[in-house]
């Protein structure tokens, strides 16, 4: 199934492209995207095409911070009704939960989750677009927008403890430091923003519960936006794989249903649990090996393999080359 994203994700794309010497209309046509998407923010367009467009634009222009430049000037309103709802939640934690729970109404390829331990909170992001191409630009765009949302509620001078990026640093860090700050970690173990848990409990003083109730009704009234079982399975798979617990039984337990019920719900959507898990491993396996520097033993653990040898056998049978050789070739 094709994953889609609101065309609002391309806000400022045309301006940045022209500034970088590119023809945005030609690049949109080559990516198979309608020109109207620049003027219709609520139009749904293929996430895979958007990912490829951003990567190609960065490569052709030589601007490694292409997507970050798009993020400058973004507002919560660019996120549509979800942004409106987040502004009316009582705390920052509740606002972020809106995007964790409902963010795929804006971007079906984006999976967010919040993990907390010992007073530290991490907002983690992962993309599942259906191919194993690079997601550097899309990743940086999402993190930049998330940081703008955090600063909207915590103040423009607020700084996270760390922003982790799994890919390599650019040759010129000036735009990254201007947009994301200086607490950057490249070649990180994940893509995400790290802050204090206490920051998430800060109240949103402008929140209006009456308005929140009204906007929440609008969100629920949009047809075809109910959560899909396959999306919930993908979300849980990303959480459980690294723990070695990504089985149909464990996923069903987290969803509060019997394993047979889970399989029936997936079947109604034309999905199979094993196929969903295999697709996630194929996409993330190639991405982790080719674009990151995390040790292969760590990659194996992240994908839920018992040990490195099991991962190595799977990788070679899937891609036709050993993981170590594929990594050297990508570099």
3-state secondary structure 105-166: HCECCEEEEEEEECCEEEEEEEECCCCCCCCHHHHHHHHHHHHHHHHHHHCCCCCCCEEEEC
pLDDT tens digits for 262-306?
Answer: 999 999 999 999 999 999 999 999 999 988 788 999 999 989 998
What is the C-alpha to C-alpha distance for residues 215 and 217, in angstroms, rounded to an integer? Answer: 5
> Sheet holding 184-186: strands in order across?
110-117, 120-127, 192-196, 162-165, 184-186
Candidates 195, 242, 174; CA nearest to 96 is 195
In the numeric block, which tokens belong to residue 151? 């600063």
> How far are the Cα atoms of 20, 21, 52, 330 from residue 61, in angstroms, in the given order?
6, 7, 14, 21
Per-residue pLDDT band at 250 (split at 50, 70, 90): very high
What is the C-alpha to C-alpha distance for residues 69 and 291, in angstroms, rounded to an integer? Answer: 22
Locate the DSSP E strands across the chain.
Answer: 4-6, 44-46, 110-117, 120-127, 162-165, 184-186, 192-196
In the numeric block, which tokens belong to residue 263? 């399989």
Q: End-to-end distance of the chain based on CA atoms, in angstroms? A: 31
Lowest mean pLDDT among 54-58, 144-148, 242-246: 242-246
pLDDT tens digits for 215-239?
Answer: 677 666 555 455 689 988 998 998 8
Per-residue pLDDT band at 58 (split at 50, 70, 90): very high
pTM for this one? 0.85
Fold designation for 229-330: Arc Repressor Mutant, subunit A (1.10.10)
Lowest mean pLDDT among 54-68, 204-218, 297-311: 204-218
- For residue 33, what pLDDT is reported? 96
Per-residue pLDDT band at 252 (split at 50, 70, 90): very high
Mean pLDDT, the chain, whole residue set: 89
- For residue 208, what pLDDT is reported? 75
Q: Is it the case that residue 55 has pLDDT exceeding 60?
A: yes
Mean pLDDT confidence for 200-206: 84
- For residue 223, what pLDDT is reported? 52
Which residues make beta-bridge pairs with 125?
Answer: 112
- For residue 242, what pLDDT is reported? 84
Residue whose token pair is 């990303």: 238
Q: Is it the case that residue 87 has pLDDT exceeding 80?
A: no
Do β-strands 120-127 and 110-117 pair in parallel, antiparallel, or remain unpaired?
Answer: antiparallel
3-state secondary structure of 193: strand
Q: Give start-end residues of each CATH 1.10.10.60 domain in the chain.
A: 229-330
């Amino acid at each position: 199934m094709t994953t889609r994203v609101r065309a609002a994700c391309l806000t400022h794309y045309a301006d940045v492209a022209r500034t970088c010497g590119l023809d945005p209309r030609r690049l949109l046509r080559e990516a198979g995207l309608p020109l109207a998407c620049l003027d219709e923010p609520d139009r749904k367009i293929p996430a895979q095409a958007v990912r490829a467009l951003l990567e190609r634009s960065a490569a052709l222009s030589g601007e490694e911070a292409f997507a970050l430049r798009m993020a400058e000037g973004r507002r919560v309103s660019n996120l549509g009704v979800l942004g409106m709802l987040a502004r009316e939640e009582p705390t920052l934690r509740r606002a972020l939960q809106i995007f964790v729970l409902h963010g795929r109404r804006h971007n079906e390829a984006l999976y967010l989750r919040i993990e907390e331990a010992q007073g530290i909170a991490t907002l983690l992001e992962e993309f599942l677009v259906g191919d194993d191409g690079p997601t550097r630009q899309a990743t940086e765009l999402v993190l930049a927008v998330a940081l703008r949302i955090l600063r909207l509620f915590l103040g423009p001078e607020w700084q996270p403890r760390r922003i982790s990026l799994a890919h390599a640093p650019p040759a010129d860090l000036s735009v990254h430091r201007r947009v994301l700050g200086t607490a950057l970690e490249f070649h990180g173990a994940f893509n995400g923003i790290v802050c204090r848990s206490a920051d998430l409990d800060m109240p949103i003083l402008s929140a209006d519960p009456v308005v929140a109730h009204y906007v929440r009704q609008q969100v629920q009234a949009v047809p075809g936006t109910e959560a899909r079982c396959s999306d919930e399975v993908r979300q849980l798979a990303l959480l459980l794989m690294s723990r070695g617990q990504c089985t149909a039984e464990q996923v069903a337990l987290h969803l509060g249903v019997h394993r047979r019920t889970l399989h029936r719900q997936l079947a109604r959507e034309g999905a199979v649990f094993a196929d969903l898990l295999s697709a996630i491993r194929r996409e993330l396996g190639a991405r982790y090996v080719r674009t990151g520097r995390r040790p292969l033993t760590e990659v194996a653990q992240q994908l839920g393999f018992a040990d490195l040898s099991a991962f190595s056998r799977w990788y070679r049978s899937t891609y036709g080359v050993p993981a170590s050789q594929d990594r050297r070739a990508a570099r």
